[in-house]
Structure formats: C-alpha cells, structure tokens
Amino acid sequence: MIRAYLLLGSNTGDRNLLMEAARVRIGLLAGKIAASSALYETAAWGNTEQPPFLNQVIALDTTLDARLLLTTILSVEKSLGRIRTTQWAPRTIDIDILLHGDAVIHEHDLTVPHPALPDRRFALTPLNEIAADLRHPVLQKTIGELLAECVDTLSVTMVNDSR
C-alpha cells in the first residue's frame, strides 16, 4: 500500500458538488481516502482573471503505481466534465498528484513530487493540515518547513472544515 497525496481543485459549476463527486470516484477507483483537509478558497494561479478555486488535499492509500493513478484521476476529471483547453483555464475539476510515497519520477507527462509544490501556498496549506511532518522526498524538508518558506502571496482561506 502506498500513501499518495492528491490536490483537488474546482472553479466552475457547483464547486462543492464537484469536489465531493471527485472524492467519491477516487475512493471507488483508486484506493481508500485516509485523510482529507478542509476546503480552502484560493485565488487562481497563473491566469488570475477567473473565479477563485476551492482546493483540498486528500491522502489516498492505494495499490496503484503513479502511472496508473494518473490514468485513473484523468478519467475522473473527464467524467466530471473537465475539458482541457489552455493552461490555467477555468475547470470543473483538477486533480494533481502531489506525492506518491517517496517516489521520484521524471517522465514527459508525469513528475512526482509535483514540481511546483514548494511554490504554491494553495497546495501546501491543505497538505500541511494533514501531513505537516511529511518530508518532501527530493528537498528533504517537511511540508511545514516548505509552507513556512513559501513566497507565494496568493490568498488561501479555509471555508469548510466538514471532515
């Protein structure tokens, strides 16, 4: 069993419903959700001229390797209406693999740990909530240390702690 951490995000449609549907489908298709952060409303990254996101990190206990997990989450995104257009476009659901055990993977379409994790407060804040002492397998710093060092100033606000 591998503990993976996934970042879920939504900024179009019924964001709460889409986030719940994503969690349910991930639990059915990819493994057991062991922990979930609260929901956070976050300013959009990259293309800031769009609605804010709801974001959440889940800890997933899975038997899927990172490649199969990626295929599975892409199918979940598609089933929830995700259409890939341009980078940083608004989306019904976005699911990223932040960490997959202590794996370090550099492939053309899969990089684990997520390469932007140390630079994105909207990912570090909910991850810190459920795994503050977890060590980044490349940087060898805890998630709490990475959050303390993060220079990203975009707004991240807890909106629902319904775990």
Helix 66-79 × helix 15-29 angle, to 10°: 140
Q: Between the CA of residue 10 and those of 18, 22, 52, what are the distances in Å?
A: 7, 10, 8
Residue 98 corresponds to which tokens in the numbers above? 């932040």
d(CA 151, CA 82): 30
Q: Cβ distance 79 to 88 under 8 Å?
A: no
Active-site amino acid positions? 82, 91, 94, 96
Q: Which residues contact 57 (CB under 8 A, 6 or more apart)?
A: 5, 6, 7, 8, 36, 37, 98, 123, 126, 127, 129, 130, 131
d(CA 81, CA 2): 28
